[in-house]
Amino acid sequence: MRIINKLHKRGLALFMALVMCLSLVQVTALAEDEVVANDVIISEDNPQEENTHEHSYAGTVQAPTCTETGKAVYTCECGDTYDEEGEPATGHTPEVLEAVAPTETETGLTEGSRCAVCDEILTAQEIIPATGVVIPAEVQAFLDAVYALYDVPTEQLLQAVEYAETLYDLLTGEQKALEEVYQCKTALDSFRQTMTLEETVEDTVKDEKSLKEAVAKGGTVKLCSDIALNATLVITGTVALDLNGYTLSLADGKAGSVIKVDGQNIEFTLDDSSIDGTGKITGGKGGSGVPYYGNSGGGICVLNGNLVINGGTITGNTAITYGGGVFFSCSGNFVMNGGKISNNSAVGGGGSLYNLEHLP
């Protein structure tokens, strides 16, 4: 069909006015209007035949967007259609996307912007790399001091550990909480512990000479071997002897006590830290060296001082006079918390234990 728009043109002016009115009103959704115009339609097949059809347009108005002009589209059910240009595009409404400063470990962002209406990114934010961890000099010094411990010669280790500990003490609580600092402190503590253990090992004794030296120094003395003494072990200071499962004896053919305790206000403690409790004192053939008690206390002869027995077995000792196992004078206190005194013998009295207080 051919359409002749004679009156249509006249109608257009009317439509235009209508569109203008619609545009003035805030249109956010679709708006519809009925518009009527008179057109004369002539059949293509028979141009002479006039057929009157009254267009009936339904108009749809589209509001402008940030980037697109608004428009009105009119359509008649006959298929006739036309557009009207509406309000111009509004343009974007920029909104600032704030910059984010980078940290030591997190990346940052430059300032950007986007449209507050349509969310289109107008200026893209760019990634700013992380600044990287900046380690303060005092923290680095401590870390270096700890790492250096692994290469320090043994004889300089104590000094190096103490140096690292000094540096650690200078750190703030916040610095001490840093992961690497924490790990290095743990390593440092291990070095310190190892050295403490080595010191303990140095205190353990394997032979008569080192035993006498350790006893002379005082404190805790731990056997790490059986020892057969050539002479009585004389205790003159406060000493805790840990038999540690080993046997302390007087060598065959030697006379005297295995141990003689003789010191004012001192304490001799006998202990056995071994699991099986196999530590023992044996082979003593009493002899205090003091005329009246001569040949007393085969295992342990206490002339002066206090005696504490927490462990260990005193066995197989002899004395001609008193106390085959233990001879204890009345000068101090004798406490027995554990251990055993058995199978000792004495001719004078107190096969195992002779306490002078019991003398008539």
d(CA 45, CA 40): 15
In DSSP terms, 59 is beta-bridged to: 33, 74
Question: In whole angstroms, what is the distance from residue 138 CA to residue 141 CA?
Answer: 5
Question: Do 313 and 340 form a contact (C-beta atoms < 8 A)?
Answer: yes
40 versus 308: smaller Cβ distance to Zn ion: 40
Measured from the CB atom, the residue of 122 and 216 that comes closer to Zn ion is 122
Q: With binding defined as CB under 5 A, does residue 7 bind Zn ion?
A: no
Q: Phi/psi at 222 (nearest 5 deg)?
A: -120, 125
Determine which residue in the list 15, 18, 41, 55 makes contact with Zn ion, applying CB under 5 A: 55
78 binds Zn ion (CB under 5 A): yes
The 136-165 contact track toward Zn ion, x by CB under 5 A, reads ------------------------------
Question: Is 4 a residue that touches Zn ion (CB under 5 A)?
Answer: no
Token pair for 354:
């002779």
How far is C-alpha 213 from the geometric centre of its chain's CA atoms?
A: 43
Residues 297-356 touching Zn ion, rule: CB under 5 A, are none
Q: Are 16 and 82 in contact (CB under 8 A)?
A: no
Q: Return the range that interacts with Zn ion (CB under 5 A); candidates 47-55, 137-145, 306-314, 350-358.
A: 47-55
308 near 284, Cβ under 8 Å? no
Q: How many chain residues are in contact with Zn ion, going by CB under 5 A?
A: 9
**Could you give the CA distance from residue 297 to residue 9 in angstroms, rounded to a whole number?**
142
Tell me: does residue 40 bind Zn ion (CB under 5 A). Answer: no
| Piece of the chain touching Zn ion by CB under 5 A; list 58-66, 130-138, 230-238, 243-251 | 58-66
Q: Which pairs from 162-166 meet CB under 8 Å and 24+ separation? A: 164/188, 165/192
Residue 98 has which token pair? Answer: 């704030």
- Determine, following the binding rule CB under 5 A, whether residue 20 of this chain makes contact with Zn ion: no
Confirm or reject binding of residue 76 to Zn ion (CB under 5 A).
Answer: yes
Contacting residue, 117, 195, 234, 320, with Zn ion by CB under 5 A: 117
178 vs 20, 139, 175, CA distance in Å?
70, 9, 5
* Chosen residue from 19, 84, 92, 316 binding Zn ion by CB under 5 A: 92
Length of the chain equals 360
Binding mask 252-281 for Zn ion (x = CB under 5 A): ------------------------------
* Closer residue to Zn ion, CB minimum distance, 117 or 228: 117
CB of 122 or CB of 251, closer to Zn ion: 122
> Reduced to 3 states, what is the DSSP secondary structure of residue 239?
strand
41: contact with Zn ion by CB under 5 A: no
Q: Residue 120 CB, nearest distance to Zn ion (Å)?
A: 5
d(CA 321, CA 295) in angstroms, rounded, equals 6
* Strand 71-76 with 81-85, pairing: antiparallel
Minimum CB separation of residue 167 from Zn ion in Å reads 59
Residue from 62, 80, 242, 339 that binds Zn ion (CB under 5 A)? 80
Residue 115 is a binding residue for Zn ion (CB under 5 A): yes
Q: Which residues bind Zn ion (CB under 5 A)?
A: 55, 66, 76, 78, 80, 92, 115, 117-118
